Structure 1
Amino acid sequence: MSRYAAAHIDPQGPGDARPTALQIVQHEGFKGKLTGKVAVVTGVSSGLGIETARALAATGATLYLTARNLERAEAALADIFDSSTMTLVQMDQASLESVRIAAQTILSQTSQISLLIANAGVMAIPDLSLLKSALLAGSSSAFQSRVVMLSSAGHRVGGINSSDNYHYQKGGYNPWAAYAQSKTANVYMANEIERRYGSQGLHAYSLNPGIAATGIIGQLSSEEIMGMLQDEAMLKAQKGLDQGAATTIYAAISKDLEGRGGLYLNDCSEAEMGEQDGDRMSGKSAPHSFDPKNEARLWKDSLELVGLSD
């Protein structure tokens, strides 16, 4: 059992006893210990990305941080700019060309990367293929490279569509099913990375950061938001942003995970397997979370969709 399990038994809302991302760095003994290592984090202009970058800065790693709005990201991270080695790179996840340019910018300055944290969503998929060689080169016997994919408990609603219906071309669009598909895709990517590259020292993890006020609820109706605000259990489960980034940092540096990946994490621990009940509040993984056949299919289809070779 993870050393952090007890703190998550009885949540009392943001700022309770659950660890923050920075506390994970301290507890794991990584403060100042990643000097000379390179970490890439996508989506650092708001929410969990800011706290993830702030915690990684404490490790001493050299940071390459991507954001659509560089001014917003710079303002959000102003308190650590002077004490950290970091470079902000513009990237719009909706544009493959923007992703390519961002990757080329990073690779022009470093040939070795130890951490890739896909905080900004599934459109970080091209990053792996473009940064794969650097991630493999950045792995060492003391600290093997890691890719961290932010998924969600929302993945428990369902799996992925057929190859000819990822974008609901055949109709039947449902916003929660579409969200579940994108979050299952995050899990599948991590699993497939582990299967393909784990033996070469490149490991991958997917995780549920938990409920945090990141602005992701902006597309919900006022009725849905009011329902959430009146849900006492949900309010108690909610984390502060610094707590919401804790499982990401746990995946990135925990010694408990060294040398093994393909895991779905929740509350700074390896998650248990749950039932196929669609419970979006559960921290357990769904039965469809580990599916080698569909993981390989999605990997192949993803490369074809973005025009990359395996």
Structure 2
Amino acid sequence: MSRYSVAHADPQGANDARPTAMQIIHDEQMEDKLVGKAVIITGVSSGLGVETARALAATGATLYMTARDLDRAKSALGDIFDPHRMELIHMDHTSLESVRTAAQNILSKTDKITILVCNAGVMAVKDLQLTDQGYELQFATNHLAHFLFFELLRPALLAGSSSEFQSRVVIVSSSSHRMARGLGPSDNYHYQKGGYDPRGAYAQSKIANVYMANEIERRYGSQGLHATSLNPGIIATSLGRHMSEEEIQALLQNPMVQKFQKSPEQGAATTVWGAVSEELAGKGGLLLDNCAVAARGDYDENPLGGDAVPHTYCAEDEARLWKDSLEMVGLSSEN
């Protein structure tokens, strides 16, 4: 049983007794324990990215943080931004070239990375939108950009692993991955055959996040590079910027949503737990929920549920997605 099980047993809304990201750092006794280590966080212009950065900064690590709008990110980070051990780097997740440039920028400054947090994302894009490369916007932003970023940073992540702290990749997914019923066919990731649905497209991108973490563990876990994915919970952030005000208000006024809703500080807790917890040392290929490894259950579409469902783990689809993703980002094989 998780040390946080009792706190999550009967949630009472944002800012209740459930842990915050900073509490995780304190409970794991990680203050100033990663001095000299490099940590990468994507999407720090608002919400969970900011709170993840706030907590991981307390470890003493050097933070390299990406955002599409650097001025907005610097404003959001506010007084936690320390230019002596933090750097903001431009990265547009809709552009694979921008991802390559950001990775090159980071690798010009460090050849060893200990933690990569894939946090940036988008959801509820109402109409089918394609990137310049012809990829569906949610799949491209949430999965392909992070996949390419990981592949480019992989040598540094392997080099940054040590016996005292093995490298970790933490990917923010969603309970929505449960609604995908597995990965779609390879020839329709981008709805080339029609049938676009905002919720379905988001769910597909989120199961891709889970499968990416699972496959990283399968390929590199034995080399000291581990990966987990997670459901952060219900948090009011700019992730819902494509939703109408009416949709947002209807959601936030739902009594069950109000009960389970977390503050951004609480929403980042599972991310930070995945990044630093002793319990996960040397482990990966796991879905996390409420600062614990998610229990395994049967299939259901409950958007408030956090359990893993049968298709959360599927070696065949994980391998297929990896192969297809390499091709989509222009890497015919791994070096």
Q: TM-score, normalised by structure 1?
A: 0.98
Partner-residue secondary structure (3-state), 1:161: coil
1:83 Cα deviation (Å)?
A: 8.1
Partner-residue secondary structure (3-state), 2:230: strand
Partner-residue secondary structure (3-state), 1:77: helix
Alpha carbons 1:52, 1:249 under 8 Å: kept: yes
Give the one of 211, 215, 218 matched to 1:188: 211
**Superposition pairs of residues 161-176 of structure 1, within 5 angstroms:** 161-176=184-199
The residue number in structure 2 matching 1:131 is 153
Partner-residue secondary structure (3-state), 1:172: coil
The residue number in structure 1 matching 2:261 is 238
Alpha carbons 1:138, 1:145 under 8 Å: kept: yes
1:231 Cα deviation (Å)?
A: 1.3
Partner deviation per Cα, 1:12-54 (whole Å, 9 max, x = no partner)? 1111101100110000000111001110000001110000001
1:84 Cα deviation (Å)?
A: 5.9
Alpha carbons 1:155, 1:286 under 8 Å: kept: no
1:230 Cα deviation (Å)?
A: 2.7
The residue number in structure 1 matching 2:276 is 253
Unpaired stretches in structure 2, ≥5 consecutive residues: 121-141
Partner-residue secondary structure (3-state), 1:219: coil
The residue number in structure 2 matching 1:5 is 5
**Superposition pairs of residues 269-308 of structure 1, within 5 angstroms:** 269-308=292-331
Alpha carbons 1:42, 1:117 under 8 Å: kept: yes
The amino acid across from 2:107 in the alignment is: L
Partner-residue secondary structure (3-state), 1:55: helix
What is the distance in 2 between the residues matched to 1:112 and 1:62? Answer: 11
1:225 Cα deviation (Å)?
A: 2.6
What is the distance in 1 between the residues matched to 2:260 and 2:285? Answer: 26
The residue number in structure 2 matching 1:36 is 36
Partner deviation per Cα, 1:228-287 (whole Å, 9 max, x = no partner)? 133111111000000000000000000000001000000000001122111111011121
Q: CA RMSD in A?
A: 1.2
What is the distance in 2 between the residues matched to 1:226 and 1:117? Answer: 30
Give the one of 163, 167, 176 matched to 1:145: 167
The amino acid across from 1:261 in the alignment is: G
Name the count of aligned residue pairs: 310
Identity of aligned pairs, percent?
61
1:189 Cα deviation (Å)?
A: 0.1
Q: TM-score, normalised by structure 2?
A: 0.90
Moved over 4 A (4+): none
26-35 or 274-283, which deviates more: 274-283
The residue number in structure 2 matching 1:106 is 106
